[in-house]
Amino acid sequence: PHLSVYIDKIWCLLQQLVIYETSASELDIIRDISRTFPSHVFFQQRHGPGQRSLYNVLKAYSVFDRDVGYVQGMGFLAGLLLLYMSEEDAFWLLVALLKGAVHAPMEGLYLDCLWYSNISFNLNAW
The SS3 call for residue 6 is helix
Round to whole Å and give the CA distance between 45 and 26: 20
Number of domains in the chain: 1
Model pLDDT for residues 65-106, shown as the tens digit of each residue: 888 889 989 999 999 999 999 998 899 899 889 886 655 545
- Are 34 and 51 in contact by the 8 Å Cβ rule? The answer is yes
Round to whole Å and give the CA distance between 34 and 99: 26
Round to whole Å and give the CA distance between 70 and 90: 15
For residue 123, the model assigns a pLDDT of 47
Round to whole Å and give the CA distance between 80 and 104: 23
Looking at residue 28, which CATH number applies to its domain? 1.10.8.270
Domain containing residue 63? 3-125
Axis crossing angle, helix 49-64 with helix 3-20, rounded to the nearest 10: 110
Its pTM stands at 0.70
Mean pLDDT of 40-56: 95
